[in-house]
Structure 1
Amino acid sequence: MDRVQKALDLFYIGYNCSQSVFAAFSDLFGIPEQQALLLSSGFGAGMGGLREKCGAVTGMFLLAGLAHDGYDRTDIQSKKELYDWIKQLDQEFTQKMGTTCCRELLTNAKCLVKENPSERDEKYYQKRPCALFVETAAKMVQEHLLPHLKEEKA
């Protein structure tokens, strides 16, 4: 299954950017798609319309936590390793896209930044750069997280 395409397909049928990235890979971590869509539903539009951290990035971060198996609350080293991994993913997305801030990503693409969700129609998809962010995050998940998953489960 092409997980990047699945993320894009989910986005193009109306799921938010975080849901699209998270749900495209969630089954690999034992989380059914419907549950993944529910868990990540509040993270779209830069965290529930706040236009802060890009939802595609938060979907990727959720998957990173799963791929790392989280951390034991008493294991500071494991916590640091996860946080360092998150920082590396954040830095790479920033290098590729210029920022991880939803508001800035949209402004840089000369899109009107609105607090409330927009209707998803052909016009929306032509104007908004969000599919590119979903694709970029999904490719990063494939490149950085899935090999780790395979190593751990092998």
Structure 2
Amino acid sequence: MSKQEEAEKLFLEGYNCAQSVAGAFAKEMQMDQKTVMRMISSFGGGMGRMREVCGAVSGMAFVAGVLYGYDDPKDDIAKKEHYERVQYLASEFKKETGSIICRELLGIEGKDHAATPSKRTQEYYKKRPCVKMVGLAAGILEQYMKKSN
């Protein structure tokens, strides 16, 4: 199963966008899925359902940090390289979608910031592009990882 398919499957199981992308890469991060899901859970809905940066993009950045991030605060070269990596991943996503902002992707500018998540009904899945967004983000990251190795 591709990472795109895995992320989409996780989303359809009820995980948020960030969890779906990061969870698809748990094995590669050498982390158990439950830990990954808890660590990234705050980033769904554009961070706590505030509709800011798309959770799928946050999930990509999270995985990139675990796999390629830096840990020396004085290593400006590693920091720059990592920020370039994150910017590249986000720009690939934005090329396909036009935005990395949740509310823009959903077309709900100024609406629906309630903390209560929407019920996952058939109607929800018809209206929301989220399953496609998580698949796209996971696919972009998978391709990046193949090129990097």
Q: TM-score, normalised by structure 2?
A: 0.92
Q: Secondary structure at the match of 2:45?
A: helix
Deviates more, 1:13-22 or 1:27-36: 27-36
| Structure (1/2) with the larger helix percentage | 1
Q: Which amino acid aligns with 2:122?
A: E
Alignment deviations for residues 12-56 of structure 1 (CA, whole Å, 9 cap, x no partner):
011000000000012111111111111111100001111000000
The residue aligned with 1:62 is 62
Contact residue 16 and residue 44 of structure 1 kept, 8 A = yes
1:146 CA drift (Å): 4.4
**Is the deviation greater in 69-78 or in 24-33?**
69-78
Q: What is the alpha-carbon distance in structure 1 between the residues aligned to residue 95 and residue 37 of structure 2?
A: 28
- Report how far residue 91 of structure 1 moved: 1.3
Q: Residues of 2 paired with 1:112 and 1:131: CA distance?
A: 22
Q: 1:42-121 alignment to 2 at 5 Å? A: 42-107=42-107, 113-116=111-114, 117-121=117-121
CA RMSD in angstroms, aligned pairs only: 1.7
Letter in 1 for 2:112: K
Once superposed, which parts of structure 1, at least 4 consecutive aligned residues long, lie more than 4 Å away? 110-113
- The answer to whether the 8 Å contact 2:3/2:135 transfers is no
Which residue is 2:32 aligned to? 32
User: Conserved in 2, the CA contact under 8 Å of 1:46 and 1:101?
Assistant: yes
Aligned-partner SS, 1:40: helix
Query: Are the structure 2 counterparts of residues 146 and 64 from structure 1 closer, same or farther at C-alpha, using a change threshold of 3 Å?
Result: farther
Question: What secondary structure is seen at the aligned counterpart in 1 of 2:73?
Answer: coil
CA distance in structure 2 between the partners assigned to 1:113 and 1:141 by the alignment: 30
Tell me the number of residue pairs that the alignment of Structure 1 and Structure 2 aligns: 147
Partner of 1:3 in structure 2? 3
Q: Which has the higher contact order (CA 8 A, sep 6+)?
A: 2
CA distance in 2, matches of 1:104, 1:61: 19
1:63 partner letter = V
Give the Cα–Cα distance (whole angstroms) in 1 for the partners of residues 3 and 89 of structure 2: 18
